[in-house]
Amino acid sequence: MKLHYRVYGQGKPLFILHGLFGSADNWNTLAKMYAKAFEVYVIDQRNHGLSPHNEQWSYQVMTEDLMEIVTERGLERVYIMGHSMGGKTAMFAACIYPNVFDKLIVADISPRHYPVHHDGILEALCELPLQQIQSRQEADAWLSGRIKEFGVRQFLLKSLHRLPDGGFGWRFNLPVIKKNIESVGVALPNTYQYPHPALFVKGEKSTYITLEDEWQIKQQFPFSTVNIISDAGHWLHAEQPDIFLAKTLSFLMNG
C-alpha cells in the first residue's frame, strides 16, 4: 500500500511511526528537530491519517507498507522509531528486515501480548453522532461524558475532519480498527530476534513496559537498552519532548 508521509531534512533516513488512533502529524514538531541530522520520514500507517483504508490490518502488512517506501525512495539502511502501536510495527519491521533497519527505537511498548484495553474509547467513538455535530467543541463536549481524560479527547479529535457534504468523519478507519482491535495487542513471535542496536524508552508512570518485559526485551533484542523518562506516562514524547529528544538523539548519533 502506498502510504502518505512527509519528509524533512537530509542525511541517514529515519522512519517515525505513530500509535493507534494517531497520525504523522503527532510527530511533526519533533521530526523537524531530528531533521537537523537525518532525513526524517513521518508516516501515516494504513487506516490512519491520510493513508488509505483497507480491510487488511496487521503488523505484517504494515511492515510491507514500510518496505514500499524503502523501495520507492531507493533507501538502503534506515533507522526506525515508533510509539505504542507504531513501536510494535517497528519491532516487526526490524526483525523481519534487519538488513534494512539497522537501528531501532521503541517508545513505551514491549514485544509481549497486550489484552484489549480500548473498549471504552472504541464504544464512545462509534456512538458519537458524526452527522449531527456542528463543531469540534461540540464533539468534545459529547465525548467528555464518556472519555474523562481531556488529553485523550484532544488527541482523538486531531483525527476528526469536516466532510465535503456536511458532518464530520474520522481519518482513522474506525470500523476496521474495532473489528481487528485484538491485532494491535499481538505479541512479537518468540522466534524473532534483532541483531542490531535498539533503544526502548519507557515512561516512569507507564505500565506498558514492566520489569518482566525488560527480560523478554533482552532475549529478543540482545543489543538493546531500556531507558526511563521521569515524570512521564505512555505519551512520554509529548509529555517530556526535550528529554525524549535528547535520549533518542544520543542513541541515534552514538549508538
Query: Which is nearest to 213 in space by CA: 115, 113, 116, 118?
Result: 113
Residue 131 gets which letter from DSSP?
T
CA 230 to centroid of chain Cα atoms: 21
Q: Which amino acid is at 170?
A: W
Q: Which ranges constitute the DSSP H helices of 192-239?
A: 211-220, 236-239
SS3 category, 103: strand
C-alpha distances (whole Å) from 153 to each of 20, 23, 115, 144, 250 are 14, 15, 22, 8, 32
Place of cell 544520543: 250
Q: Which amino acid is at 17?
A: L
Q: Which amino acid is at 248?
A: T
CA dist 248 and 105 (Å) reads: 7
Q: Please confirm, yes or no, whether 51 is among the known catalytic residues.
A: no
Instruction: Tell me whether strands 12-17 and 38-43 are parallel, antiparallel or unpaired.
Output: parallel
φ, ψ for residue 197 (rounded to 5)? -65, 140
Task: Pick the catalytic residue from 23, 84, 110, 224.
Answer: 84
Q: Please confirm, yes or no, whether 84 is among the known catalytic residues.
A: yes
Task: Pick the catalytic residue from 18, 83, 234, 237.
Answer: 234
Sequence-ordered list of residues with C-beta below 8 angstroms from that of 1, at least 6 positions apart, any chain = 46, 51, 52, 54, 61, 64, 65, 68
Catalytic residues: 84, 234
